[in-house]
Amino acid sequence: MQMIGQPTIIGLYGEPTVVLHGDTLCTLDVQYQRYRARVSDPAWQRKMLSRPAWFRRGVARALRTASRLRNRKGDRPETDVAADAVLELFRHTGARRMIHGHTHKPDRHHYCVDGRQSERIVLGDWYEQGSMATAWSDGSMTLSSIGSAARV
C-alpha cells in the first residue's frame, strides 16, 4: 500500500476521477482547518514522532475524544463540504467525478460545472455504515453499503 497525494486524479474506466480524503473541502470549518494545518506541518510531525509511543497514543486518544465531543452536536453546516470548494476542485482538476470521505455522509451528489455534468460520491465512515464505490465496465458507479442490500 502506498499513501497518495491529495487530491489525486486517477483514470477510472476512462473517466478522470479525483480522489481525496475530503477534509480540505470543509473550508467553513475554520477550527478543523487550523488543526489540519498544524498536524500536516512536517516540523510538528517530526516533533510528535520523536515522543514515546505511550505519549503519542495519549495525544491521539485526547484528540479523538475532543473530536467526538465537538461533533456530537449533530449536523452543523460548517462541518460539511463547501459547495464553492467542490466546484473549484472540479474546475481545477478537470475531473467529472470525485470520490471522498471525511464527512461520513454516504451519498451521490450531481453538479453542473461549466456546462458539464459532474458527480461527487461520498463514502461512509466504516464505524456505523461502511460503504464502497463500485465501478462497472461501462463507467457507471454504484455506492453500496457494506453488509446490506441498501444502495444510494
What local confidence, expressed as pLDDT, does residue 44 receive? 95
What local confidence, expressed as pLDDT, does residue 76 receive? 67
User: Within the chain, which residue ranges are assigned CATH 3.60.21.10?
Assistant: 8-26+82-145
d(CA 47, CA 55): 12
Q: Could you identify the residue written with the cell 453500496?
A: 144
Extract the C-alpha cell encoding 34: 487550523
State which H helix or E strand residue 105 sits in: none
Comparing CA positions, the residue from 85, 87, 84, 134 lying closest to residue 106 is 134
At 59 the three-state DSSP class reads: helix
Extract the C-alpha cell encoding 137: 465496465
What CATH number does the domain located at 8-26+82-145 have?
A: 3.60.21.10
Extract the C-alpha cell encoding 141: 458507479
Helix-helix angle 42-49:30-40, to 10 degrees: 70
Comparing CA positions, the residue from 140, 12, 5, 16 lying closest to residue 90 is 16
Segments of the chain scoring below 70 in pLDDT: 71-78, 126-129, 135-139, 147-152
| Digit-coded pLDDT (tens) for 83-94 | 999 999 999 999
Let me know: does 89 contact 21? Beta carbons within 8 Å.
no
